[in-house]
Amino acid sequence: MGNLLYQLAVGGTLGVLIGRLGAAALRHIALPATGLYPLATVGFGIVAFAAAGAVNASGIIAAYLSGLVLGNAKLPHRAATRSFAEGAGWLAQIGLFVMLGLLVDPSELPSAILPALVVGLVLLLVARPVSVLACLLPFRGISWREQAFISWAGLRGAVPIVLATFPIVAGVTGARDVLNIVFVLVVLFTLIQGPTLPAVARRLGLTRPGALREIQVETAPLDVLDADLLTATIPPGSRLHGVAVFELRLPPPTVVTLIVREGTTLVPDRDTVLRVGDELLLITTPHTREAAERRLRAIGRRGKLARWLGEHGAPEPEPTTAARTE
């Protein structure tokens, strides 16, 4: 018992600490590529597992809690990290089921159907409702309808099959029969009970057909959107001072999305007047980027009538140094 408590306590403590350390590090370290953030997040989970194993604590608890902390932290590129985690999870489950399928002999499965049905009915009608009631008893505000729906969600997924493999590894007598029963039970519940979950939720009144769906907000790199982000600061003496946004006449679809003025941000409209010191954030496309830059340079040099005055915003030539050899 003492060893069990040690593994849970030390493993849990290391998991939480490494998770918080990872969250703080990822918020303050600028990695060179977006794809490195999901890998770094997974890396902290591996570090938590290894650290717990080094002190003979539970690596599984440490990795789980570190992932729990990182998953609920406000990390940069959160959408990319979540998508990577979902893909890795699906890949792991597929590989797990393929490997576990090698342990099952199809010729032994018919004899396990009847025991699996009996065990499944006991779990569905007795064991699971009692366990759900006991687990949710400390939590208030959960109605009996919600508890009934949770109880109806039966034994499905890879975890029960994995647990059934432990007796096989330990060489326990009758372990293969247990694996066959659990395997049939999971397959039957997935194929029969799983599709009924939406209907059960409607019968229990847990769905609201007229409810608005929550808007899903995601972040996407600009290269995925085929767009470029430009920044321009209006220096002293620039003719951009006093020009309204609509007078810029930027090539479509270029738009001024944000202005940073004296440490505060504002979303401009067409009548917003630019001032010296403003930092402009513009969204454009690769095809119109050069034209947008030329237009800003032209107005900065000659004002809003730059085109009529023959100014087209050509880049200034770079200074060159000629070297002569005598």
The tokens describing 296, both together, are: 């800003």
Phi then psi for residue 219, to 5 deg, are -105, 145
Give SS3 for 223. Answer: coil
CB 188 within 8 A of CB 210: no
Most distant CA pair in the chain, distance? 102
In 3D space, the residue among 303, 297, 299 whose CA is nearest the CA of residue 316 turns out to be: 297
Predicted TM-score (pTM) of the model is: 0.53
CB 45 within 8 A of CB 70: yes
The tokens describing 64, both together, are: 């789980």
Length reported for the chain: 326
Q: Measured between alpha carbons, how far apart are the two ends of the chain, in Å?
A: 91
Instruction: Please write the tens of the pLDDT for every residue from 10-60.
Output: 999 999 999 999 999 988 887 887 788 899 999 999 999 999 999 999 998
- 44-48 long-range contacts (CB < 8 A, ≥24 apart) are 44/18, 44/19, 44/70, 45/70, 47/18, 47/22, 48/14, 48/15, 48/18, 48/19
pLDDT at 324 over 50: no
Give SS3 for 281. Answer: strand
Instruction: Please write the tens of the pLDDT for every residue from 182-232.
Output: 888 888 887 877 788 888 888 888 876 655 455 555 555 665 567 888 899
Cα separation values, 240 from 184, 229, 256, 306, Å: 73, 19, 14, 11
User: d(Cα 244, Cα 273) in Å, to the nearest integer?
Assistant: 4
User: d(Cα 241, Cα 152) in Å, to the nearest integer?
Assistant: 67
The tokens describing 236, both together, are: 């002293």
Instruction: Please write the tens of the pLDDT for every residue from 17-27.
Output: 999 999 999 88
In 3D space, the residue among 67, 53, 73, 74 whose CA is nearest the CA of residue 10 turns out to be: 53
User: d(Cα 119, Cα 182) in Å, to the nearest integer?
Assistant: 9
List the 279-284 sheet strands across, edge first: 228-233, 279-284, 255-261, 264-266
List the domain boundaries for the chain: 2-101, 106-203, 228-302
Q: What is the CATH class of 228-302?
A: alpha beta
Q: What pLDDT, on the 0 to 100 scale, is given for residue 31?
A: 82
Instruction: Please write the tens of the pLDDT for every residue from 225-267.
Output: 678 888 999 999 999 999 999 999 999 999 999 999 988 999 9
Helix (H) or strand (E) run with residue 133 in it: helix 128-136
The tokens describing 312, both together, are: 């087209």
Q: What pLDDT, on the 0 to 100 scale, is given for residue 325?
A: 36
